Amino acid sequence: MGMGRRGWCAVAAAIALFCLASGCASGQVLWSEASTTAGTPLSLVALGDSVPSGAACHCTPYPQLDADALTASSGRLVTATNDAVGGATTSSVLRQLDSNSTVIDHVSTADVIEIEIGANDIGFTSTCGTTVACYAPKIPTIQKNLDDIVSRVDALASGHKALVVLLDYWNVWLGGEYAAARGDAYVNAAEQMTDEVNSVIKATAAESGSAYVDVRAAFEGPTYAYDETRYLASDGDHPNAAGHKRIAAAAEAAIEKTLHL
């Protein structure tokens, strides 16, 4: 899944456009000065839950795949640091950025920060069952926390304006045949809750000038009509190796789409 020379140039162009859109001072560059030095390694940091952390896949998770692809295509070493934690919520990621000195150091020097978070905030419970209205009050909290997460990341990386990439979900509950086995009510509720969370992620990306990756489209097609089972681990809740490769590929596509290439 090499990005190719053209794809790497697209990254650089996207970064320049973001700098212009966010009002960088005259002469300020998006990458840190050290990162623009020939041969200096670039760094990618992942934040979020068990999806970017690679739970259940027994494979290389997508943040490392992205770093490997960028290394191969650019000839520059791109390192990946995975600070994603299984079971994380938007609140716990925000706490990482406020009080975890290791994570703060990683983000402060990162060139790219990938963030995928929100599904655990509205995890399926026996109390709410398939009643969508029971989960709805949690959506505003996800929105506020995600806004705060992006703002905090921007503040930590203010010296070089790192590129923030927000990824959504194919399903915030079980997906594919695993969801179907629980019945139509479960499938319908899962789709509605996924719509709610993904809408927050997409809106946050648009408002903050972050890159946005539509993972649901990558797994289910542009109209969300395909069965994503082939991309899921045996628990039905996490991506398998093919799923992680699919997510990594979607990140590149999202950058090129932003530039209308």
CATH architecture of 4-258: 3-Layer(aba) Sandwich (3.40)
Q: Which pTM value belongs to this model?
A: 0.85
Q: What is the pLDDT of residues 114-171, one digit of tens each?
A: 999 999 999 999 999 999 999 999 999 999 999 999 999 999 998 877 889 999 999 9
Exposed, middle or buried, 20 (CB in 10 Å: 0-12/13-18/19+)? Answer: exposed
> What pLDDT does residue 119 have?
98
Residue type present at position 82: N
Rounded to whole angstroms, how far apart are CA atoms 197 and 184?
Answer: 20
Q: What is the pLDDT of residues 16-52, one digit of tens each?
A: 433 433 444 322 233 333 444 556 888 899 999 999 9
**Considering only 6-10, 27-31, 79-83, 251-255, which range has the smallest mean pLDDT?**
27-31
Which of 6, 206, 211, 229 lies closest to 115 in space, CA to CA? 211
End-to-end CA distance of the chain: 18
